[in-house]
Every structure is written in C-alpha cells, then in structure tokens.
Structure 1
C-alpha cells in the first residue's frame, strides 16, 4: 500500500482539521523542512509522518486522546482512543522513566524547586505571572526559604508536634506507600469508597502534587495510578499549561483542580485550578475576582544550602 492511500484510509474516520490544528501541522512541516539536510526536499516517509501528526491533532480536538498503533501486518496506522485512567497509567510509566538517576537527598540537604504560575482573571482577562523558587529542608530540621506568588517566606524548622498535610519534607514523603491501592486509601482519609471519599482522594492527590516538593522515587507514578482507580474521572481538552504548552487535563466532577499532561509524551505538565479572592461586602465575606490558574514545576533538584541551584 502506498503512503497516500494509507493516509486517505487513516483520515477517513477522523474529524476534519480545525484551523488551529492545520496551522500547527504546517508549522511542524516548516520546521522539518529547515531541519532536512537537503533543504526543500522532504522524504515521502517524513511527509507521511507529518500528515499523520496533523490528523492526530484533529482527532484529539475532536474528543479523544489517541495513540497511533499497528494492526496485523498492514502498514496503515490504527488510532486507539485513551480513557482518563489509561492516560494516567501511561503518565505513571513516563514518570518512572524520567525519575531514574535523580539523587536521593541527605537529611542535611535542601530540595530546590522552581515553579511557574499564570493566573488569568475571568473578568477582564487580565493575566499575572510568577516564578517562585524554594529551598526546603529535606527533613524539616533546618530553616527553609520559600516563595509563594512572589512573596518570600522564611520558614523556621518544623516543631516536633507540627504537622503539614500533605507533607513537604522529603523524609516524610519517603515513608508514603507507592502501592496505588494503599496510597488511594491514604488519600481518601476515610474507610469507605463513597463518592465523597473519591472526591477527597482526587483533591488530596492534587494538593500532593501542588508543591513545592520533590517526590521520592515511585511516589509521583503511584499517585497517578491511584487517581486512575477513582470512578468518575474525565478528560478535559485544550488545556494550556503555565508555559503555554497545549495539554490534556484529567479532572473530577465538582473539584476545581485538574492534572494536565502532554497529549503526545504523557509528561506531567502541572495543575490547573479555578479560584477566587474573598472580599467583605456589607459585613459578609463573599467570593469575588474569579480566576483560572496554571502551575507548572519548571525545575527541581537537590542542593547543599539555600541559594544554590542544581
């Protein structure tokens, strides 16, 4: 079967390209042309691959995360829709691969994080951005330096009876289970499997990923696998992360947080949330100034003292 025939059959069951997807495909084609060793001459295989990528973008826009695969001995690609649970499990596999080689910190070291935040207000579409850096004591025994929406906090060492939940200290997170079923129970914070417990588990998983914190090996992947077990999770399309990258969101009904992943690589891009500010009006506190916020962990590592970067 020739490439053009394969492309026509592949495209038959896929929605037509949107203007946005067509523009993105053309942009990829232009970049590929510049990268070719012989400018102006593309191989038939490259043209076919780019056309498939553009059609896949239309399929995502049409309502499903898709993965190209092969069926039998034919050369025609096959598109397989992914559910939210399948997307999370693939993200877990990506997380395990990406985490290899990260150093295990000592208790006397600091965890460095750099988080990029964008907040767009519903009224007026005004946007604010922050780049927050933090140095957290691994075991909480030393002072930490934390930035939150541009405001600096000098956190004292944690007291013996002081509790943060979810914890930010690596030493405490290292004791958390990496078995998805056991972790899900901890995130539920209850002994039942009610919808309220499911919503609580999803919200707590988002709070666990919110940071600033660095995950011990396997905990991030286990978090995604635990969330995959929650009934009712769904996919949100056309999400954009804090750095402007297009992603696919995973959400739960009536929870204002959602995870955002790269639709091609399944890399975790960050958290999206809807929030508001509280203002006292006529003696009553009311929620005003609604906004959409996106948080993305841009960099993380282990350093020996506050002020150093990986």
Structure 2
C-alpha cells in the first residue's frame, strides 16, 4: 500500500466525523501527557502502536488546521499549574452520573493525623468513614465510622444519622448551582474562602476555599476549580502519600494563617499517571500533619436497611 492510498483510506475513514474541539481533545491530551511521563513501553509494543498513533495525531492536526510539535520529557516533573490543568481534564474525562435531589451520594472518606517532630500529643489517628449524603440536604446523613483494620485508633466504631449534616457547608445540590465561568467562580471561591481566612489576599482565600473538595463535587465544577487554582501564585509540586498510603503528585501552597505566625502547607494530591484527584493534606507547625482521601461516589436511591436501627443525633 503506498502513501497516496493510505491518505485516501484515512480521509474516507474519518469522513463526516465532527471536528475535534477543546472539550473533545481534553481527555486525550490528559492521557497522552500522562503516558509521556511513565516509563517507555517495550520496543515491540511501541512499534505496534506507532502507525496508529501517527495516523490519529495527523488526522487531529489536519482537521483542526494546525500542526503542533511538542517535545516531552518523561523524567522532568510537571509544573504545579500543568498538574492542575491535567487534573481538570481528568475530572471531565471521568464523570459520574448526575444524581437527583432526592437521591444519596454514597462514598468513603479516610482521615489520618500524623505527628511531626516537635508536636506533642498528636496522633497517629486514622478514621475511615462511610457516608450516605442527601444530595439536597433534605434528609439525614448516614455515617459509619468503620473499625480500623490495623494501627492505632481512637474513638468509637459508631453509626449515626445526622439530621443537620455539614453545618454551613454547601450541599451537592448547592454546588451544582455554582458557576463554572472562570470569573464568576473565582469570585464565589473568594467569598467562600473569606469565611475561613479573614483579612487575607484573594489568592489565599481562593486556595482555602478548595477545602470544599473534601466531599464530592460535580465533575464540571471540580474541573473549573482546578483551572482557577492553576492561575494562583505560590503553588509548587511535591510527592506525597494520600490517606490510603498511595504516592501521588501534590500541588502545595504555603500560607501564613496568623495565630502566632503559624505557617500552613495545604496540598491537594493527584494520581501520578491519570491525574485523578485523590485527596489532600495540611501541615501546620504545632498541629501535625492531617491527610485525607475521598473515594468516587456511588448514587443510591435510599439508605441501607440497617439504618432504621441507627440512633438519630440531635442538632447542636
């Protein structure tokens, strides 16, 4: 088969297909950049894929009208801004079904406190919580603090129904109403973060507002948040372990939170290959290291049957 025939068949194969847009190409871009940072595949595997990869890349470039050449350096660490942009792509590429207001989000959160040098009476403490959270907050939240499989543990292995979960935290339905427009969302995050860090600059307020990611956030909103975080000054990358012990690539920002000059290193951790969001960490002198992870939520129509025997908490 000659080159002219190859191009003719290639043209016929993709005839009538929609032109690639930024949204369509984002997941492929995330996967390609992630692949570029992993170890090289065996030569036989690369040879087998080379023709397909070149053809696919050529079609995308020809259809878009632009041919871009990039040089990848697998050994070089990604910048903090690039990690966050890839995390935004990953959030859009792996969405979960959109729940109804009358349903529940079922997910697991692991929190661990680790002592640091010079920090007295802190940890180690590890808690695994399983939650059924009302999407619109109109029904009690069911939580189960599960027994630890290993290691030190403090606190009861309790199950409870909380009729007023989350305090002032927004529900999933509330978050669904947050804007994804960059300027509008920037203002929203600054307002939310202002409640946690008064008399601080806008960048610090926005960064603190990212704590909203401790619980499930709609994928499109999560992606928009990461894109805004990528524009903030003072962010850097480091390698950290999440609460499950998995090593990931973290984006960290250092803030002076006051209170005797306490310096906080607040980090958000991502999978080193897929850039899927894993969890976060906060390191504060005198308070130790707090690490947390949250799993991808499942959608449930009702609470499990055993919840009927669980004691309901009272609102405080």
TM-score norm. by structure 1 comes to 0.61
Displacement of 1:104 in angstroms is 1.6
In structure 1, the partner of 2:251 is 250
Q: Which one of the candidate residues 201, 220, 223 is aligned to 1:221?
A: 223
In structure 2, the partner of 1:263 is 272
Aligned: 1:118 with 2:112: yes
Aligned to 2:206, the other structure's residue is in SS state: helix
Q: How does 1:46-195 map to 2 (within 5 A)?
A: 78-79=73-74, 82-99=78-95, 102-122=96-116, 127-147=124-144, 152-156=159-163, 164-165=168-169, 167=170, 169-189=171-191
Q: How does 1:230-249 map to 2 (within 5 A)?
A: 230-235=232-237, 237-249=238-250
Task: Provide Cα deviations, 1:243-296, integer angstroms capped at 9, x if missing partner.
Answer: 2221121122224321011222212111111258xxxxxxxxxx6xx3212211
Displacement of 1:46 in angstroms is 6.6
Kindly tell me: are residues 196 and 137 of structure 1, through their superposed partners in 2, closer, same or farther at Cα, counting changes over 3 Å? same
In structure 1, the partner of 2:212 is 208
Kindly tell me: are residues 291 and 147 of structure 1, through their superposed partners in 2, closer, same or farther at Cα, counting changes over 3 Å? farther
Aligned to 1:82, the other structure's residue is in SS state: coil
In structure 2, the partner of 1:62 is none
Displacement of 1:114 in angstroms is 0.6
Displacement of 1:172 in angstroms is 1.0
Displacement of 1:126 in angstroms is 5.7
Relative to structure 2, which stretch is displaced further, 148-157 or 291-300? 148-157
Aligned to 1:90, the other structure's residue is in SS state: helix
Cα distance in 2 between the residues matched to 1:222 and 1:77: 26
Note the residue ranges of structure 2 that are not aligned, 5 or more in a row: 1-37, 48-67, 146-154, 256-263, 306-316
Cα distance in 2 between the residues matched to 1:261 and 1:246: 9
Displacement of 1:228 in angstroms is 0.9
Cα distance in 2 between the residues matched to 1:187 and 1:117: 24
Task: Provide Cα deviations, 1:19-54, integer angstroms capped at 9, x if missing partner.
Answer: xxxxxxxxx99xxxxxxxxxxxx9655799xxxxxx
Displacement of 1:89 in angstroms is 0.5
Higher relative contact order (CA 8 A, sep 6+): 2
Contact 1:249 1:258 in 2 (8 A): yes
Contact 1:232 1:252 in 2 (8 A): yes
Cα distance in 1 between the residues matched to 2:167 and 2:111: 26
Contact 2:91 2:219 in 1 (8 A): no
Cα distance in 2 between the residues matched to 1:233 and 1:47: 35
Cα distance in 2 between the residues matched to 1:183 and 1:122: 35
Kindly tell me: are residues 266 and 114 of structure 1, through their superposed partners in 2, closer, same or farther at Cα, counting changes over 3 Å? same
Structure with higher strand content:
1
Aligned to 1:115, the other structure's residue is in SS state: strand
Cα distance in 1 between the residues matched to 2:130 and 2:267: 23
Aligned to 1:116, the other structure's residue is in SS state: strand
Q: Cα RMSD (Å) of the superposition?
A: 3.5
